[in-house]
Structure 1
């Protein structure tokens, strides 16, 4: 596991410069309405095939009344409609992490002492220009200091703005080799020029911050999930971001996805992960964003704690076992192809 080089080939230097929190002024709440991307907590959401029902039921028992875990259960349920909530204003959710979102897909900006590491880049150059650039300024960060763009997987809603930022600011774009290949085969719009490849377990160090990048294939052949150190005043936390949630439909790909859950869960345990993040609204994340915006001095709702973070992965494991049981038994819980279409909404190859 090695650190990535700087553009000029030298090691990334440590700088004393830091980003300060901007005064957000009067805090408001988006008010995510029921039915506009929120989770119906009391509903009988799992419309499962008989083969997978035991696993789906176990996932719901594990989730209990936890809104974050119930949101994950619903997101992984066959036929669940992809949420399309309104876009929230950008917000620092930790001292060194900001969320920049268009509602249905989000990017995370890791703010270090020597520049920004952007996790994903939204859907297009237009969103990079109109959402990411002004959003970074709004949270008190300089978009001109973007060093790297880590693309979690090779779908356009995650890399669409990457080339724009690379051209404008000289940022380097990182993706796993398998998903660079995927992008090369599919030739989607706004595809970035092939740049840096992410090795499994790669350390990306900028300033005094080291992000670990782990291969978690399943959603795509080369999905990457980061583990990110965070600060909140004197507190220190460690976050994970699962790189691609929407399950595949073939037995082989589902087994790969399950293996990735197991390996990443072990890495989370080793890193003492206590914060969960997502690049889509499948984890009650936008609701938590507004909770934090309205009560900035309260407990940070993104901090789940280590036990709850592990339970999040246990819920995911059970839901994927259910999907696999349905696929192996020839019962797709209705329509395996339809599952992918409904969760992906109208966006081809997303999520």
Structure 2
């Protein structure tokens, strides 16, 4: 098995506090390069024009329309029936309890799990048997990448660490968030994710990007997936629900814009989410009945970019409403 963690292509790991200082400076610099968000000039409570523009941009695209609905301030995500485990791609499984999903990337060096659902019970009763039902061995779980420090994403991580020796990764800001809140089922602090870090297992490399906003340490991965002879690049936005304050919304907006550039550079053509905000459960059922033709999660580079553009507009509306 080949496994490695690289903070970026050239640099050595930074001490944790120094990294946090540089990350803060980098975020401020990135915002300056982009210029002030246009919504900053809007009158308070005047977000509707941005929401309308987002709906217009979405057109009749069910993926983009679902995102508009999910990010509308009036929307409440209902409880949803958990789908059966499914291989979204030849090397990517989705394991879900309905309103939150985990993804398992199967490599020739083991399994990288992206998120771990809500609790040890979810790990025992959903993740482990789900992998087995799909022909994967839970003993092969090497890493759990936690996209952010909310219990519905890290709840099963310590169970997987205890039973299978999995290493748990989270951005330092959210390790701090978890340590301060001390929520139930919090994993013991383990590995920290640097912005742009490469996580390589076997012959597969994920890139892990800091996208703060939903939480201070939200992380969004970019990674390869296979569909028969087809090779694609997937993204998974790490935390969708917008925060409530203007400063946090500006941080979130800067993250959307920086990640959108990184998606373009990586030629991303697959959109994934850890919550059902993207017509994902409906596309799962389309995939179950697929006998050929287009893959419902391969939406192309233009639509993945438009997905982020819709998110940008919805956030600008939220900012105008603060």
TM-score, normalized by length of structure 1?
Answer: 0.79
Partner of residue 71, structure 2: 76
Deviations 1:46-99 (A, max 9, x none): xxx851111111100000000000000000001201132100000101011010
Partner of residue 201, structure 2: 206
Matched, 1:313 2:308: yes
Matched, 1:184 2:179: yes
Matched, 1:273 2:273: no
User: May I ask how many residue pairs the two structures share in their alignment?
Assistant: 283
Secondary structure class of the residue paired with 2:198: strand
Partner of residue 264, structure 1: 259
* Runs of 4+ deviating beyond 4 Å: none
Matched, 1:4 2:5: yes
Unaligned runs of at least 5 residues, structure 2 = 7-43
How big is the shift at 1:3?
3.9
Partner of residue 16, structure 2: none
Deviations 1:76-127 (A, max 9, x none): 0012011321000001010110100010100000000110000000000001
Matched, 1:245 2:246: no
Over aligned residue pairs, what C-alpha RMSD do you find? 1.2
Deviations 1:239-283 (A, max 9, x none): 000000000010000000000000000000000000000000110
Contact 2:4/2:201 (CA < 8 Å) preserved in 1? no
Secondary structure class of the residue paired with 1:292: helix
Counterpart CA distance in 1 for 2:53 and 2:160 is: 44
Deviations 1:210-235 (A, max 9, x none): 00000000000000000010111111
Counterpart CA distance in 2 for 1:276 and 1:298 is: 18
Matched, 1:301 2:302: no
2:107 pairs, out of 112, 125, 138, with 112
Matched, 1:129 2:91: no
TM-score, normalized by length of structure 2?
Answer: 0.86
Unaligned runs of at least 5 residues, structure 1 = 6-48, 328-351
Secondary structure class of the residue paired with 2:315: helix
How big is the shift at 1:298?
3.5
Counterpart CA distance in 2 for 1:170 and 1:284 is: 34
Structure number with higher helix proportion: 2
Deviations 1:276-334 (A, max 9, x none): 0000011000110010011243321000100000000000000000000111xxxxxxx
Matched, 1:141 2:136: yes
Counterpart CA distance in 2 for 1:313 and 1:284 is: 15
Partner of residue 153, structure 1: 148
Matched, 1:87 2:88: no
- Superposed, which structure 2 residues align to 1:17-36 within 5 Å? none
Secondary structure class of the residue paired with 1:4: strand
Contact 1:292/1:298 (CA < 8 Å) preserved in 2? no
Secondary structure class of the residue paired with 1:295: coil
